[in-house]
Structures are given as C-alpha cells and as structure tokens.
Structure 1
Amino acid sequence: MDFKAVFVTVEAVCEETAAALCGSPNLPYGAVAQRLVDTLARVQEHGRALLPLVSGFVAVYHHYDFDAQTPGNGYRTLVKVVLSCLLHIVNKARYVAVNCRGPFFRAEHNACELEAYCGALCQLRALLYLARRLLADNAHGQLISLYDGEMSRRFVQEYTSMHKACFYGRCLGFQFSPTLRPFLQTVVISMVSYGETYGKQQSGIGMAALSLLTSGKYVIDPEQRGAEFERITQNLDLQFWKSFWNLTESGLITGFSRITSSPVNVNLTLTLPPVPLRLPLTSDPRLSTTVSPPVAHTGPGPVHARLISHELRDGQDTHELLSFSDMEDAPIGLSISSWSEKKSRSPWLMIHFHGGGFVAQTSKSHEYYLRSWSKELRVPILSVDYSLAPEAPFPRALEECFYAYCWALKHAHLLGSTADRVCLTGDSAGGNLCITVSMKAVSMGIRVPDGIMAAYPATLLTTDASPSRLLTLIDPLLPLGVLAKCLNAYAGNICKGVQPVVGSGSLSALGRDTAMLLSDLTQGASNWLQSFLDPTHAISPSRTPLALAPPLRRSGGGCGEDDGMSRDYPEGFQPLRSECLAFVLQAACPVIKNPFVSPLLAPDELLRGLPPVHIVASALDALLDDSVMFAKKLRDMGQPVTLSVAEDLPHGFLSLSQLTKETEVASDICVQQIRAVFLQRSPSSACLRKRPHLQSQ
C-alpha cells in the first residue's frame, strides 16, 4: 500500500465532500451538515500531522523485523492501523459526497460515523507520538522498553485516562479482517449485556434471558455500547472476566462445537495421580531422576487432562488407561467408541496447553481445533487442564504442565503413541507454558520435546511498553486493563476475585466492593494491589489515583492539562480523555521477571538446549513484539526458531478458526509447523533462519 497516496486521497476526498455539503445551502439538515464539514476539517488536520509520523516509521520499521522474509513488528502494525482508519474515512466521506442530496440520506447517522472515525484517528495519532518516543529511547532493533521503567510507567499512566470508547462502538474492529467484525460486535454486545446482569441471582437460562433483553439497546446505540465496554474493561474485577470467558464452555456452546467439529473416536478426561515419576537422564539413560508431583500453594494434587484422538489406537482402550478416568460418570462424547477399528500406536504425540490468560478456560474451550488437528495429523493429543490463577498462581500451572509432560513420556503407550517424536503446542498463556516446560526439562536433564509450536505466545509478563502493546488501547479482545489483571493474577499479586453481589447487578455495586478491598490489602512487594474502581463511586482522598482524567473532549485541539505525557505530544495537541478512569497496576514485582514466568528475560544458559521453536504470531496482536523479540533472541543464540506472522487477525485467532477463511489459513500454518516437528529427521534440520511470510505460504 502506497501510504503517501492514501494521505493525498484523504485530503482530496475531504475537500470534495466539504464542497458538496457547503455548495448546497438548502440542505434540510444544515446544523448536521456543518458538523460533517467540521469533522472533515479535523480529519485533514490529523492527516497532515500524521503524514510525517508515518513517513518516519516507514523509513525504519524494516530494521525491527525478524528477517527480510518476515515483515512484522509493532511499528509496522501501527502504520497499518492508521492507514486502515484513513481508508474507512475515505469510503464514508465519498458516500456522503455522493448521497448527501438524496431523499434517504441519513445525515445524523453519517455525521456520527465520521465523528467516531475522526475520534479514533485522533487517538491513533497519539499512539504514533508515543511510538515515536519508543523509537527514540530504545536501542536499535529493540522493540520493548525492558529497562526503561519511566517509559513503561508513562505508558500505563496514559492508558488509564485516554478515551477508548470510540474503538468499541461504531469503529469496532475496523483494523481486523472484515469477516471478523460481526463476531467482534457479538462479543462486545454479549460482554456489556453480561456485565449489566452480572451478580444477579439467576439461573443460567435466566441470566441468558436478561442478557438478551439488555443487548438490544447496545445494538441500537453504538456510543452507549462503546462507553459501557470501556467502563467494563477498566473497572470490573477478575472474577467477571473468568466467568465471562468460561461461558465458552457452557453446555450449549460446547454442544454446538462438537456438532460442527471433526468427530473423534477418543475424547477422554483423565486424572493423573500425584505420585513421583522416575525418568532417565538424557546424558546417561542408565541414570534417572525423580519428578515430583505439583505441590505449590495447595500441596500435592492430581493433574487433569483430556485425551483426544481421531482414531482409536492400541493402548487407548486398556483398563490401565481407563483407571485414570471415571468412565461411569463420563458424559456422552467423553468416552471411547468401542465399535471403532483399532489402529497401531502412532509414532507421534502432541501435548497441548490451552490459552486463557492463565485465569480462564480449559481444554473444552479449545476442543474444536484440537479435534481437527488430531484428524489432520493423525496424532493423539493430550491437552492439560492446569490449575488457574488467581487461586493457583505461579508456579502451580508450570508444575502441573511439566508433570503431565513427564507422565505422558512415561505412559505414552496408554495414549496410543510410541512417542518417537513429541511436540508441545499451545496458544497465548499455553505458548508460554510450552516454552517454560521445555526450559524445565532442559534444567532437569531429561528428554526435551522434539519441537514447540507456540501461537501468539506470552513471553514477557510485564507491562513494559512496546509499539504493539500500544494496541491494547484499541483491542477489544486484549485491553491493557484486562491483560494486567491476568498478569498480576498469575504472579500472585492480587487476592482471589471478588465474588458477585447477590441480588445486585449494577456495576457500581461491584466497583464499590472492589474499592472497599483497598483498605484491607497489604501494600507489600510480594502482594501488590490490584483493584479496578467504578468511576461513579466517590473516591476518598486516601484512594485518589495519581492523575485524574480531564473530561472527554470532542476535538483533538490543545489543552492546558499536564498529565505527565505532554512532552510526548506537540504543542496544541492532546488525545481525547475519558470520563472513566482506569486503575492499572504495573506488573513489576520480582516474580514477573522470573525466567520461568517471562522467558524473554531468561539468560542464554536457560534457553540453550531448547528444541526447535515455531512461533505463529498475528500482526494485529498486542503481543506481536514479544514474539518477534523472543524469536530474535533464540536466533541470535543459534537456537532453531521460525516465525510466521498472520495478517488482519486478532490475538486468540485459533479459537476463531471455524469463523473465517483467514483464521482457517492461520490454523493451517500452525498445523504445518507441527507437522514439520514430527517429520524432521534431526533437530538441526529444523533450524530454519528464514520463513516465508504467512500470506505467501
């Protein structure tokens, strides 16, 4: 895309549309026409300021790619998002110019549309100024401000007060593939409706009915939807997010998933008892080491997992395997098809760790694509249901996943595999666990997996600033407020989620309960506060945040407030400010920097010996820079690593693989990388320094 042509087109179209509106003084909507003209003038102002910013990034952003064949980093993404916004404005302005004199022209609707995109453009302009500061402050080729606490602090501070509602209303998901926008709108409407009924004492059906009744107003009024979604993402506690995300495992949704997904002959839930395991050392198989069961926080306990296999194989119907599963209580679909033809054991075994921010979901949430992968690759899959934060923070999940990995190596014959080749797979939080489990295997001297396929992995669990992380301001699936909740929960920096108030569904009540916790929590390095206050609740002087947001302004003009970020913006410009202040706790405690929490921070000696790592990232993911920097780190060490970057898709695209062609293609790339692990002849053959860009594969 020729970015200069886009800016020329924006300028010309705004002029033409304003002329069409001003050239017809007898239009029946004179006041609205003036709003349209004023909005177009503000778009031109933003466009003229953005052109030199974009030019500067285009001149240098290739230096931050993984390699020449894999264009992808946060600077590229920010430029692409800005151009996407401008193109939407061009299309809407052209529509206004052509149809403004028509009898069916909806003047108010079109004025609101253009104003919304103008507001979004203003906020994107602010993000580019912040990214320019990152570019100036970071070392050449460095995407993340790992050692610049001041920049990261200002990034979090700016997030708390910047207006975000415009990105969740009329402009929702404009940066993603068009086929995903209806889905994103459904998610946002469902979330705000669920937030309005959250905490009311209702049955599941009653809750669904209430949500359905309240969702209509959010369909009709995009501005109200955006404002409510902004308030939810900034102020509701972790328990809300856990309960909402876990709705994907409700009986209706999982039942529909099973109907539409590939059938499998084995779908068995397993409970692995907490007994010590003996595994041989790779340096001398005559010697062995003991792998203890998970003990962190709650003491020794079982590990839960799910065995999925498209084909029934030797070992999967044995009494020994069934002894790990309560077949009598297993519902239909979680058992073994006795009439299937049994096949010999597969030489391959896949072990899967699900995503969900370390706080939500299970193997059920990811069963749809796992069924397809088992069929396509003809491989048995063991998906681990590790314990979730905040009830079970680090290192419980890592201990359970590592124990399940060791158990699978020792009992592969029961899983229908000879385990000649073992691949770890996971997305997001699960991708993190794939890497850290392998690091733990290396450190203990036992067999490491033959490869890792990590989709959009979380490799840095801090709130440090990076250009792609600036997208948390506009991303409906991964806002910074929610991301920070998850990171702090996994690190053990917050208490257990606040329970909903019985009989009260208002978000204010939840906010008040959350605020009351502030006086009861200890202010210590090992127990950092995490609380998200409802802006409608009066804040006592002792609880006043560092900087209060000024009222929301409708223009991108100057203001006199000094919010700590003024030096990053030129004189006369400030982004729009929200009336809904977020309280985001920076994830900066020592646990967060543990290499087994944030593998990007791991010393080289801990990463040496890792198997080939295949990363599949998304260009529009806030965690993109994490993937790029981790891949670069492994490559520079001489470790085998590949990186593929999907275009136009959000974080979590594997869970959307059945929705669009684009998500299916990205899922297919993951399958190709897993197959590469299984088919490689030796670890060295997978040391691919360069990979074609995803769109060209």
Structure 2
Amino acid sequence: MSVPSDMDHKDAFAALQAVCSDVIIALNGSPNSSHGDYTDRILGVMRQIQEHGRSVEPLITGFTSVYHHFDLDAETPGNGYRTLVKVVLSCTTHITQKARYIASNCSGPFFRMEHNAAEMEAYCSALCQLRALLYLAQGLLNDNAHGQLLSQEEGGLSKKFVQEYISMHKACFYGRCLGFQFSPSLRPFLQTVVISMVSFGENYKKQQTGLGIAALSFFTSGKYVMDPELRGSEFERITQNLDMQFWKSFWNITETELLSGLCRIASSVVQVNLTLTVPGEALSLPLASDPSLSVSVLPPVAHWGPGPVNMRLISHTLRQGQDSAELLAFSRPEGPQLSLPVTFNRQTSPLSPCLLIHFHGGGFVAQTSKSHENYLKSWSKDLNVPVLSVDYSLAPEAPFPRALEECFYAYCWALKNCHLLGSTAERVCFAGDSAGGNLCITVSMRAISHGVRVPDGIVAAYPATLLTTDASPSRLLTLIDPLLPLSVLYKCIDAYAGTGSQTIQPAMQLDTLAALGHDTMKLLNSITQRANTWFLSLTEQKEPSLPSSTTSSNGILTSAPRTEDRPQESREYPENFEPIRSRCLVDLQTPCTPIMKNPFVSPLLAPDNLLKGLPPVHLVASALDALLDDSVMFAKKLRNMNQPVTLSVVEDLPHGFLSLVQVCKETQEASDICVKRIREVLQQEEPSPAHRQPGLN
C-alpha cells in the first residue's frame, strides 16, 4: 500500500494551511465579497479547516511513526492505521484543490459563491469526523497489544465505537464528499448506487416486487441528484433504520432478468452456464489419510432437515461430461435463457485436470452465483477451467450452519462427480469474496475435521474472518463507507448468527420477468403522479443547509442535537473537540451470541489444529476496505503457525470490488490478481498426497 512519507504529509498540511490563508486574503479583497452570508460562510469554514489541520497533523505524524509495526511484513504494507492516514490525506488533498480554485476564481463574474460555500462546508465536516476517527484509533493503539489490530476487550472501545457511530453525523460522506477516498473512476458509479438505494428506500414496503420498486424509484431519484445534502441525510437514515429485508431486496435487484441481461451483454461468452439442483443424499468419499478407507458425508440438515443444494456450472469450453444426460438431469431452467443448448453433435474438449469451486459474497444474506457470473465467466476463460459456484441458502431464513453445510456438501459432491463437471479434479481451488471468502476457509476446516481431502489452495478476496463486533482501525471506516456501513455489517452478522430469527425454508425468488406483468399496472397507475412530483421537486427552492442542521456562528453547517441526545463524554476526545452529532439517532442492536465466536463462523478464532491442515491461502484485500484488518490478522496467524499464506493489498477500491470488475480498469486489475493466485494454485507441479485425490467415477 503506497503511503506518503513523513515529509510528504507535513508538506500536505503546510499546503493546506497556506491555501486557507490564500482564500481568506482573496475573499477579503474580492469584489464578490459583497455576497455577505456566503462570503462569511467560506471565511468561517476556512478558519475551521485550519484549526482541524493543526490538530490532525500531530496525530498523523504519530501514526506514520508506528503503523509499519502492524503490517504482515515489510513487503506487504497494509493495515487499518495506514488506511486512516491515507483517507485523511485524501480528504486534505481534496480540500486543498478546491480551496486553490476558490482563491484563483473568487473574483470572477461567474464564480458560484453559494456552491463553493456548500462544497467547503461538506469537506470541513468530513475532516472533523475523520479527526474523531483518529482519536478513536489512537485509543485502539494505546489499548491493544503490540501488532494487534483488533480490540478483543469485552466492551471497551468496541462498545464506545458503536455509541459514536449511532450519534455521529455521517451524511456528509454520502453527499458532496461521496467516495472521495476511492479511485476517481469509481465515484460516478458510487453516486449511482447511493441515489438508487435512497430512491429504492423511499418506495420500500409499497405493494411492489423488487423490479416494480426499482422502476418507481427512477422517478424519485432526480431530487437526490440535484440535492446532495438531502441525499446524504436520507442515506444516513436508511442505513441506520431500515431492516434486513430492505437490504436483501436492494442487493437482489441485480438478480432480475432485466438487469442481469444487460450485464450479460458485456460479459465473456461461455459455452456452458448451467444451474443445477443436486438432491441431498449421503455420499461416500475416500479418507484423505488412507484412500482405501471411506468417509460418509451426510446432506445438509440444519434448521429444516435434508434438502437439495443449488449450484451453477460455468465453462468457457464445452468439456466431456458437461452435455451428458446424467448432468442435464440435475439442470433447472433459469428464466427465458436456456443455459446450454442440447446439441449432441457438438465437439467437446477433454476433461480438465483442474476445477475452481466458488462461494459468492453478499453478507450471507443476499445475492447468488448469478450476481457474480460476469467475473466468473472471465475467470473460466482466462484460466481455461470449469467453475462450480454454490448457491447456498441465505440468512436470516437460513442462519449458520446451513450455508456451511451446503457448501461442504457441494464440494464433496463435486469431488465425487467431477467427471460430470468437465474435470478430473486433480487440482482443486476454492475462491470466494467477502462472506464467500469466509466459507472458503470454513469449508476447508470442515473437510479437515471430516477427514476429506482439502482443496489445493484458497483464494479469498476481502474475506470476513471475524464475525464479532470487535473494533479495529479499518473497521472505523464503516462510519464513512457507502458500501459497508456499520449498521448494515451488524445486520448481516446478526442474521447469519441467527439471533432472534425464525428459520424457514426459503421460497423461490419472485424477482424475475414474470413479475414485470404484475408490476406494470401499478407502475402505469402511478407514473404520472410520480413524474409530476419529481419535476416539481426540481423547481422548488432548496434550503442551503442539511434538514437536520443549523448554521453555527462561524458559518459552518453543524448538526445540533439536544443536550440529552449527546452521548456521555468520551476520553478519546480532547476537551476542546467534539465531533458533529446527528439527529438521525437509532438504537443500534449489537449482535451478541456465542455463535459469533464459533471457529466455523469466525475462522480467525479457530484453534491451531483446525488451521494447521489448511492448504496455501492467498488473501486479496483492499486498502480502503473496512475488513482489511480481518485479512491482515488472519494472514499473521497463519504465518505464525508456519502455514503458507500470501496477502495482496490493492489500492483505492471498496469492499466488493470483484462485483465491480466491469466498472473501471482498477477493479479489473484487482480481479487479475485473483486470477494470478488461482493459476498458481492450479498449476503447482506436485500437490501434496493429502490434497490430491482424484474424483471417483
């Protein structure tokens, strides 16, 4: 992870102070200074930025002097402390660039005083909140053991961080400042996601299916494009208050035939894309330690008893077995698309010695292999191997351990039936992202505990290795992350842990083109009213401040909750500082159950004997991901056990970057790193005997 040197960050803060002074001088001498209120607002915010800069600089200096102690090694710089420094410097850089524009153009006739005042106020608010995160991180640094990134103290800062998350103003990070820390090529996409989410939330729980809500949301999105402050405050409300069903519905919008069909246009063409349903029947596999003996693998049974397991087979090339009647007997139709034309005169390639088994992300609560098939198609083409992606049952309807049981069963079924999948399974690699990365590790641990052959390697992208509420410097980013806010992370953990939920067998998904007809009448009935409301909202006069904000004496937008709404004073903050508080308060329920510390839920807590038999583990993390420290600490644990492990940290990308592979070149390059690691696993010359047991015909 590339970080500025000590001299660089000192230069950055010196430039910040200088340009703020330049703006103050320029405005005082500008003919536009007659714009009274707006000029005063910019002058006030510049002085406030200078004060934040003077306080933040020594904090950054302190972190840069010690953060290398928390890296995996000298060749792999990356941890949450480095990330916080990177984010703060990114914010100050944006402020410096915008301030230079103001200093150079404030005297011009076309200078928009109101717009630039709002811009600087938003970034000043962001810098204030980042300053608060630095104080919290300083508390972690003081309390944790040397090299420890996660605060595993009962209560302590982890509890205080939750209290701060509830009360701290976050809307500034979802309005004008949205995505400032990420690659510039991603920011338009992030804006689209946030606007879509806010519009979707406005129409949530109306009598529509997901596709209908998405269509209606189009007509409410205009006001959130025009009013960044409204967008930010509404996003803050949604992330803290709406239930898990909302997030499942929103994330599954990409599953609709209409949207997935559009994505499919840009994806690689494959000859095989089959959805399979495998009945739950007991399997017999050779024992890894003694192939002359066998071990019985039972079907998944948690919560509602034995049931089938769904999978998707993707193969760039049609191989032997993939067009067999035996495999096609497991296939199921998927919408209007026929996954594999049955043509018996088609030429088939021989069986591949390799097989890639994939577990998708989605927080254990949403998405399927369909959401991830675009990059899986590319992987199958680049690696020239069949890919089997497992569509495990989702929480909260199917909490732990149902997903783990289904993924393990799918792996065992694949070993036994690899000849149907176009492979001899001489070399098998697990791959997964986020929740899927967790399952790559835990399924391998389950294979060890059952005596079944383990895969030849694991490639896990930004995996969740610790599903507890422990704080870490990178997890502090959940306060500003538009894709992984803390409240959403907690909802996913709570759902997977099964806290307070009633498990039922999941129903078939309804968000298909068949639902479009049901939605059409309701859409047509409300289209005129929605359109009129939207256009009226564009012409209404907007207040320059946040709906829940007031303007302080120095002209800076600040949230001003009642005294009784403020949390108790925290020792993390100096006496002369208080972060901006929000009126959007919620009683965030902190997940708390022993299941969270189960090693098959949180593999970072697994005993050595379960991790000792793991194959080589390749972790691919993002420097700006809230779960970065999960990967760093898991890599450290494996290395301390002399287990083979690598860690790659990519720059400027958010959590979930594999699903964004078609958005920009940076996400494609990150995907290429995953492909490189998978190729290393599949092309290793001599897998160990315990790892290599060909599938049974």
Common fold: TM-score over 0.5: yes
The alignment partner of 1:214 has SS state of coil
Q: Counterparts in 2 of 1:82-121, with a 5 A limit?
A: 82-121=88-127
* Partner residue in 2 for 1:603: 607
Instruction: Tell me the equivalent position of 1:334.
Output: 339
CA distance in 2, matches of 1:473, 1:44: 23
Native 8 Å contact 2:559 2:582 kept in 1? no
The verdict on how the C-alpha distance between 1:293 and 1:37 changes in structure 2, with shifts beyond 3 A counting, is same
**Alignment check: 8 A CA contact 1:280 1:446 kept:** yes
Q: 1:468-479 residue pairs with structure 2 within 5 A?
A: 468-479=474-485
SS of corresponding position for 1:213: coil
Amino acid at match of 2:352: S
CA contact (8 A) 2:550 2:560 kept: no
| Structure 1 residue 584: Cα displacement | 2.0
> What is the rounded CA distance, in whole Å, between the counterparts of 1:183 and 1:340 in structure 2?
41
Give structure 1 stretches of 5+ with no counterpart. Answer: 506-548, 686-697
Q: Deviations over 1:91-127 (max 9, x none)?
A: 1111111111111111100000000000000000000
Aligned to 1:694: none
Alignment match, 2:325: 319
Mean Cα deviation higher: 242-251 or 144-153: 144-153
Q: Distance in 2 between matches of 1:342 and 1:487?
A: 44
Instruction: Find the aligned partners of 1:259 and 1:632 in 2 and give their Cα distance.
Output: 41
Q: Which residue of 2 aligns with 1:483?
A: 489
Which residue of structure 2 aligns with residue 529 of structure 1?
none
Once the 2 structures are TM-superposed, how far is the Cα of residue 426 of structure 1 from its aligned partner?
Answer: 0.3
Deviations along 1:604-659, one digit per CA (max 9) or x if unpaired, are 11111000000000000000000000000001001110000010000000000111
Q: Which residue of 1 aligns with 2:646?
A: 642
Structure 2 residue 51 is the aligned partner of structure 1 residue 45: yes
2:25 to 19, 30, 41: 19
In the alignment, the residues of structure 2 paired with residue 204 and residue 638 of structure 1 have an alpha-carbon distance, to the nearest angstrom, of 48
RMSD: 2.3
> Using a 3 Å threshold, how does the CA distance of structure 1 residues 558 and 582 change in structure 2: closer, same or farther?
closer
Give 1:679 deviation, angstroms.
Answer: 1.0
Give the Cα–Cα distance (whole angstroms) in 2 for the partners of residues 133 and 89 of structure 1: 27
Q: Distance in 1 between matches of 2:252 and 2:368?
A: 8
- Tell me: CA distance 1:26–1:264, structure 2 relative to 1, closer, same or farther (3 Å): closer
1:206-261 superposed Cα distances (whole Å, 9 cap, x missing partner): 43342111100000000000000000000000000000000011112110121110
Distance 1:632 1:559 in 2: 45
Residue pair 2:158, 2:470 contacting (<8 A) in 1 also: yes
- Gap change, CA 1:557 and 1:613, over 3 Å in 2: same
Tell me what 1:265 maps to.
Answer: 271
Provide the residue aligned with 1:172 in structure 2.
178
Is the 2:277–2:309 Cα contact (8 Å) retained in structure 1? yes
Q: Give 1:463 shift.
A: 1.2
Q: What is the alpha-carbon distance in structure 2 between the residues aligned to residue 40 and residue 256 of structure 1? A: 46
Counterpart of 1:460 in structure 2 is 466
Aligned partner of 2:241 among 226, 235, 239: 235
Residues 340 and 22 (structure 1), Cα distance of their counterparts in 2 relative to 1, 3 Å cut: farther
Distance 1:294 1:674 in 2: 28
Aligned counterpart for 1:378 among listed residues 367, 384, 397: 384
Deviation readout 1:3-33 (Å, 9 max, x if unpaired): 1100000000000011000123663412211
Q: After superposition, where does 1:303-452 map in structure 2 within 5 Å?
A: 303-326=309-332, 331-336=336-341, 338=343, 340-452=346-458
- The answer to whether the Cα contact below 8 Å between 2:396 and 2:498 also exists between their aligned partners in 1 is yes
SS in 1 for 2:221: helix
1:308 and 1:374 in contact (8 A); partners too: yes
* TM-score (normalised: structure 1): 0.88
- Distance between the aligned counterparts of 2:638 and 2:629, measured in 1? 14
Aligned to 1:78: 84
Secondary structure (helix, strand or coil) at the match of 1:257 reads helix
Instruction: Give yes or no for contact 1:559–1:573 (8 Å, CA) kept in 2.
Output: no
- Structure 1 residues 567, 326: closer, same or farther in 2, change over 3 A? closer
Would you say 1:580 and 2:584 are equivalent positions?
Answer: yes
Structure-2 change in CA distance of 1:158 and 1:643 (3 Å): same
Which residue in 2 is equivalent to 1:660?
A: 664
The secondary structure found in structure 2 opposite 1:434 is helix
User: What is the correspondence of 1:23-38 to structure 2 with a 5 Å cutoff?
Assistant: 23-24=29-30, 27-38=33-44
Paired residue for 1:216? 222
The Cα offsets for residues 301-346 of structure 1, whole Å up to 9 and x where unpaired, read as 000000000000001111111111136x774241246364310000
Please list the CA deviations of residues 553-580 of structure 1 after superposition, one character each: whole Å capped at 9, or x if unmatched: 7459999877245211001111011101
Do the aligned partners of 2:32 and 2:106 also contact (CA within 8 Å) in 1?
Answer: no
Is 1:556–1:573's contact at 8 Å kept on the other side of the alignment?
no
Residues 249 and 43 of structure 1, relative CA distance in 2, 3 Å threshold: same
2:682 to 671, 678, 681: 678
Structure 2 residues without counterparts, runs of 5 or longer = 508-518, 523-547, 690-697
Q: Which amino acid aligns with 1:350?
A: L
CA contact (8 A) 1:461 1:587 kept: no
| Matched letter for residue 659 of structure 1 | V
Deviation larger for 457-466 or 204-213: 204-213
1:144 aligns with 2:154: no
Q: What's the CA shift string for 1:105-154, capped at 9, x where partnerless?
A: 11100000000000000000000000000000000000001234222111
SS in structure 2 at match of 1:614: strand
User: Is 1:616 paired with 2:620?
Assistant: yes
- TM-score, normalization: structure 2? 0.88
Q: Read off the aligned partner of 1:650 and give its amino acid letter.
A: P
Closer/same/farther in 2, CA of residues 12 and 238 from structure 1, 3 Å limit: same
The aligned amino acid for 1:20 is A
Aligned residues, how many? Answer: 638
CA distance change for structure 1 residues 599 and 26 in 2, over 3 Å: closer, same or farther?
Answer: closer
Answering whether residue 202 of structure 2 is matched by residue 196 of structure 1, we say yes
1:56 matched residue in structure 2: 62
Cα distance in structure 2, aligned partners of 1:565 and 1:459: 32
Bigger shift: residues 374-383 or 331-340:
331-340
Q: Percent identity?
A: 68
Mapped partners of 2:211, 2:294: distance in 1: 54
Instruction: Work out the CA distance in 2 between the residues paired with 1:254 and 1:491.
Output: 30
